[in-house]
Chain A
Amino acid sequence: MMNDAHEKIDQERRRFLGTAAGVTTAVVAPGVFLHTVATAQSSDAEGRTEGATSAHRWGMLIDTTKCADGCDACVTACNRENGLDLQAKPEGQSEAEWLQQRSAWIRKVKLQDQVSGRISNLPILCQHCEHPPCVDVCPTGASFKRADGIVLVDRHTCIGCRYCMMACPYKARSFIHAEVEEKLTRAPRGKGCVESCTLCVHRLDRGELTTACAEACAKDGHGAIVFGDLKDPDSALSQALRAQPNRQIREDLKLNTGVRYAGL
């Protein structure tokens, strides 16, 4: 008897499955439609400026022998330029934890040679690799490299998976852990996305040929950061690179970084 009952087709179950499929379609379809509309609009708004070209490749040489101990002019300038100083510690979060969670695009590192004991100072920032691991691993393509070599995050397509942060050999990226109340138009910032140094792309796109950090370092009289075009043999950067031996951090990975270090 039991078997007989099972041989019969359960109409109720079929109806239920049919309704479930219908409801799912009804829920998902509008989202797909709206997304198409949204992306169509954003592509219409493009074309305001000329796109970046591969005629340039922007980069930096950081001379660690000129980088002063205890100086944080580059960090302060970057924070002000990109609105990083507007981040507020969420109420209830401890200072120590917040320092680990707040966004930082450039940070000062102090090293001691294990054999000689020699001390070096240098800033670490996104190295704007030619072969950036963050771009390789990003599932949506939000991490991308512009034609002029600047590695950026498209904040419209970043889903906040942090795989790029796992992949970055320089710990150069930050995740926005908390709500951001105040932000600058030139550096929009939203909770749940990843960001990193843009080489002050907003300045470059306006035709200015310097970054906030390089400018501040020069203003303080250190001149440890030379910014410029790696593809222009006459640029100050190319000349500086020719003049003194320099290297890339984690050269073993063969990423061909845009940021080079001398005196290390």
Chain B
Amino acid sequence: MKRIIYREWRIEPARYWGLLALLLAVIGGGAAAALYTEHVGHWVTGMNNSVVWGTPHIFAVFLVIAASGALNVASIGSVFGRSAYKPLGRLSGLLAVALLTGGLLVLVLDLGRPDRLIVAMTHYNFRSIFAWNIFLYTGFMVVVIAYLWTMAERTGNKYTHSVGVFAVLWRLALTTGTGSIFGFLVAREAYDTAILAPMFVLMSFAYGLAIFILVLLFAFAQEGRPIGDQMLRRLSRLLALFVAGVLYFTLVYHLTKVYGAQHYGLVSWILRDGGAYTLLFWIGWVLVGGLLPIGIIYHPVLGAQRGWIVAACTLVILGGLAAMAVIIIGSQVYPMPMFPGHIVLESGIPGGAGGLPAPYAPTLPEVLLGVGGVGVALFIAAVGVRVLQFLPESLADDIVDPHATLRASKA
């Protein structure tokens, strides 16, 4: 591999400031929504005493798991020794920090009392996986920043491997922790299964890589830096593999649920009778987020075209949001199994009776807050690549992997 030169992202100021202004507007929308909700209370959201986590949590959890997934690219290079991925390591680390910041901000700003954040930092209950996650998340930031330093600073290069190994273990713990937020909940039928943790790990691989590829392609295209076809093929094939992994875990999740007779109701509700949630599952999670992108990436013609790779990544992200909606909202609206063998005729609150799902409809402030988190993540990434040397000058195949052109000519 030739020596890789990293350079700041130098697109013309007008375009750059335009992009920042756009992201700031998105962030402004999120900030306004958060202030409004905090000021008047959560009644302006669609959330209620049955569906206590709503649309902001779809975005927050998506961003948090995508963050650990984005770091994978760096790990593949420096931990698993794939030299072709090494030039991507810095951007991978930056995106990991950016996405995590965006996700955590959404989570924090949706609290009933965001002003008590300091309480969350001074009072801990270590039986709570949430409390552990506070350390896993802040620790992740520190580890990734250290990792970035070892990659960027010549004197730190010798630590890249060991810090990288530590980062891999940490990110696995982080996503396991995030999955366990749901997996450890015995009360709700759709949760209460350890498989959610590894499923979240696979989801993080897929969503993080999809965002990584999109950001990489956008940044390079805007400035006219080259990316080799082999490089892109490598990344997109890896994405397809991760997406297939998500589908596999989805299948096993439903098989474990359907095996016990007590969960027939839940499984048939998600797969057949759940209305909007059934659509989100089949159309969003499985088709848009799974089968279509795999089909595009492995298609002999489409899979080689950049526009289609962008489409595949976008579909993975949309499908990921749909999957989060099914996991987070769907599992809450489905009635809790309090009285097996009985039909609930009245429950004291509307919606809980007759086995009907609880009502939930997202409102504008929720959506603005969630999208605002995405804005924050992209803003950090945009500023990062502009002021520091995160992006390699070229990802042409002969630069990244001199043997690639040779192989291609033989083939």
Nearest residue (CB) in B for A93 is B43
Number of A-B contacts (CB under 8 A): 191
A82 in the interface, Cβ–Cβ < 8 Å?
A: no
B41, A90: Cβ atoms closer than 8 Å: yes
B49, A160: Cβ atoms closer than 8 Å: no
Q: How far is the CA of A20 from the CA of B131 in the complex (A)?
A: 28
Q: Which residues of the partner chain B approach A136 to less than 8 Å between Cβ atoms?
A: 127-128
B53, A166: Cβ atoms closer than 8 Å: yes
B49, A101: Cβ atoms closer than 8 Å: yes
B345, A159: Cβ atoms closer than 8 Å: no
Q: How far is the CA of A174 from the CA of B41 in the complex (A)?
A: 14
B52, A166: Cβ atoms closer than 8 Å: yes
The CB with the most chain A CB atoms within 10 A, among B134, B181, B341, is that of: B341
Q: How far is the CA of A103 from the CA of B41 in the complex (A)?
A: 13
B332, A166: Cβ atoms closer than 8 Å: yes
Residue among A75, A101, A107, A137 making CB contact with B130, cutoff 8 Å? A137
Q: Can you list, as one digit per residue, whether each of B111-155 has a CB less than 8 Å from chain A (1) or not (0)?
A: 111101111101111011111001000000000000000000000
Q: How far is the CA of A125 from the CA of B343 in the complex (A)?
A: 19
B342 in the interface, Cβ–Cβ < 8 Å?
A: yes
Main secondary structure on B side of the interface with A: loop
Q: How far is the CA of A136 from the CA of B131 in the complex (A)?
A: 10
Nearest residue (CB) in B for A39 is B122
**What size tier do the contact residues of chain A reach?**
35 or more
A203 in the interface, Cβ–Cβ < 8 Å?
A: no
Given contacts A133-B187, A166-B52, A169-B186, contact A175 B112 (CB under 8 A): yes
Q: Which residues of the partner chain B approach A111 to less than 8 Å between Cβ atoms?
A: 339, 342-345
Residue among A100, A104, A141, A249 making CB contact with B338, cutoff 8 Å? A249
A137, B117: Cβ atoms closer than 8 Å: no
Given contacts A109-B348, A124-B348, A140-B125, contact A177 B111 (CB under 8 A): no
**Interface CB pairs A-B, < 8 A, 16:** A97-B359, A103-B49, A104-B49, A110-B344, A135-B127, A137-B129, A142-B123, A159-B113, A159-B120, A160-B111, A166-B52, A176-B41, A179-B41, A250-B187, A250-B337, A250-B338
**Which residues of B are in contact with A by a Cβ distance under 8 Å?**
38, 40-43, 47-50, 52-53, 111-114, 116-120, 122-125, 127-131, 134, 181, 184-188, 332, 336-339, 341-352, 358-359, 387, 389
